[in-house]
A and B are shown apart, each in its own frame.
Chain A
Amino acid sequence: MQVLIDNYHLYLRGLGTTLQICLYAGLLTLVVGTFIAGCRVAPLTPLRAFGTAWVTVFRNCPLAVVLFFMAFGIPALGINASYFVFGTIGLALYTSAFVCEAIRSGINAVSPGQAEAARSVGLGFGQTLRLVILPQAVRSIIPPLGSVMIAMIKNSAIAGAFGIGGDLYAVGIRQSSAQGEEIIPVLLGVALGYLIITIPAGLLLGYVERKVAIAR
């Protein structure tokens, strides 16, 4: 356990990096996932096809392949950025397929009469989604979305392996492998770090869930 105390600053920095990846990827994936969900329920066939293709690709490709493509494919096309950017975007794109499906199932749980009523007062597709459907869908979106987000936080360890480094998991590898520390305490420290992120995230989700349940 001494390892944790002696190296707490490394763990803290790792925690910081992981949090950063998760924060940026989380925001991006929510935006992209919602947009793709919108495409999937849109009245235009090309948009629906695009949404379906997106989900099919990113849900069925292993995350490592998506990240590999970001880290090596994109630079090969002559586009260079930091691995942090590539990794975060890759993680966000991959997760967006799952975000999309969580949102879509929530949308489908809202009675179709709501959308018909919205359209008959003259609301456009986007307005109908934003003002009428999504606010009612959140209740059923939050729980699966929570699982998706927590999975994303854990997946950030894989993104870290694609050149980012310095994330929580990388700190663990570095200590056990390069600095020859005992593996068990090191990994306990890493696990603790992830729990520090995921448990509050879970609590926050529970809070939001109760909040939207009351607002009805």
Chain B
Amino acid sequence: MRNGKLTAAAIAASTGLLLSACGSGSSSEEGFSAPVAENPSFEQGTTMAEYADSGEITIGTKKDQPLFGLENLNGEMQGFDVAIGEIIAGKLGIPADKINWKETPSKNRELYIEQGKVDMVVATYTINDKRAERVTFAGPYYEAGQDLMVKQSNDSITGPESLRDSEAKVCSARGSTPSERIREYIDPSRLVLFDTYSKCADALRNGQAQAVTTDNSILMGLVSENENQFKVVGNTFSEEPYGIGITKGDTKFCQFINDSLRTAAENGTYQEAWNSSAGKVSEKTPELPELQSCG
């Protein structure tokens, strides 16, 4: 039952890919621009008031993560994380060109927030307890999950349970959480580890591996970089709620961000943000996940 549904999803996914690939004549810049509030007013002394008054904000994001946070060759920022950042900045009355994008690699995220190098972090940032000890999370704004990427022609791998039977070799980045989780599903000798996912994509391309596993967000990026070659299976087997990291204990700012997300989901800006970015390789537009309380 379940498998049938998955295959259908996979076919749908690949069709979506084909369609988007066929329509790839259109510019990637098309579409999204977040609404900017005119002279919003905030309670004196809040973080919101501070940023709104300064008219500027520094947002930490990735710059090498296609579809989420990517700096293109013209120095323009693209991706879902970027769009989410623009939505929140817009609510503060800050237009996109007043946002300072600060490249924030995974291992620096807590540090940059603590040191005030960034005002908030939107960078495929999974909410977990350990991290929540050092920063406050708004959101989540997206529910990512570990998934599998296979060659487009591959119909036998439909999810993690199908890996053992097909004796597939699965590639992941060493030291990553997904590389640990996948060990539940396959024999350790079938696990191929590289230091980057792009090497995994190469291994998949030349047949040295049959699947690549990590968060679907990253996999979608790899799919978009390798047109018409790969697809995401679309059967997540972990929950990676992406949150927006801000200074520990800034409850009011957290609530403001959550309100902004909720509004965006209601008026369609959230969906537009998705469709202009990750939506290009995924036919399913996600719903805004249930937001956590700001504590």
Taking CB atoms, residues of chain A closer than 8 Å to B248 are none
Q: Which of the listed residues B171, B177, B191, B194 has the most CB atoms from chain A within 10 Å of its own CB?
A: B194
Instruction: Contacts A165-B192, A179-B180 given; indicate if A173 touches B207 (C-beta within 8 A).
Output: no
Q: Which secondary structure dominates chain A's binding surface?
A: helix
Chain B contact residue count (CB 8 A cutoff): 20
Q: Measured between alpha carbons, how far is A72 from B171 in the docked complex, in Å? A: 14
Contact of B193 among A75, A76, A170, A176 (CB under 8 A): A170
Question: Are A75 and B180 in contact, CB atoms less than 8 angstroms apart?
Answer: no
Question: Is A11 an interface residue, CB under 8 A from the partner?
Answer: no
A-B contact pairs, 21 of them (CB 8 A): A71-B203, A71-B208, A72-B206, A75-B203, A76-B206, A80-B206, A80-B207, A83-B192, A161-B194, A161-B195, A163-B194, A163-B203, A166-B193, A170-B174, A173-B174, A173-B175, A174-B179, A178-B176, A178-B177, A178-B179, A178-B180
Q: Measured between alpha carbons, how far is A174 from B173 in the docked complex, in Å? A: 10
Contact of A174 among B175, B199, B203, B207 (CB under 8 A): B175
Question: Are B174 and A165 in contact, CB atoms less than 8 angstroms apart?
Answer: yes
Question: Are B174 and A174 in contact, CB atoms less than 8 angstroms apart?
Answer: yes
Instruction: Contacts A161-B194, A163-B192, A165-B192 given; indicate if A75 touches B176 (C-beta within 8 A).
Output: no
- Closest A residue, CB atoms, query B107: A177
Q: Measured between alpha carbons, how far is A178 from B171 in the docked complex, in Å? A: 15
Taking CB atoms, residues of chain B closer than 8 Å to A166 are 188, 193
B197-230 CB mask vs A (1 if < 8 Å, else 0) is 0010011001110000000000000000000000
Size range of the interface on A?
20 to 34
Q: Measured between alpha carbons, how far is A165 from B190 in the docked complex, in Å? A: 11
Q: Measured between alpha carbons, how far is A71 from B175 in the docked complex, in Å? A: 20
Question: Is B5 an interface residue, CB under 8 A from the partner?
Answer: no
B149-182 CB mask vs A (1 if < 8 Å, else 0) is 0000000000000000000000100111101100
A50-88 CB mask vs B (1 if < 8 Å, else 0) is 000000000000000000000110011000100100000
The 10 A-B residue pairs with the shortest CB-CB distance, nearest first, are A177-B175, A165-B193, A75-B206, A173-B175, A178-B180, A163-B192, A178-B175, A72-B202, A75-B208, A76-B206
Extra contacts besides A163-B199, A165-B192, A174-B174 (7): CB < 8 Å:
A75-B207, A83-B208, A166-B188, A174-B179, A176-B175, A178-B176, A178-B180
Question: Are B208 and A80 in contact, CB atoms less than 8 angstroms apart?
Answer: yes
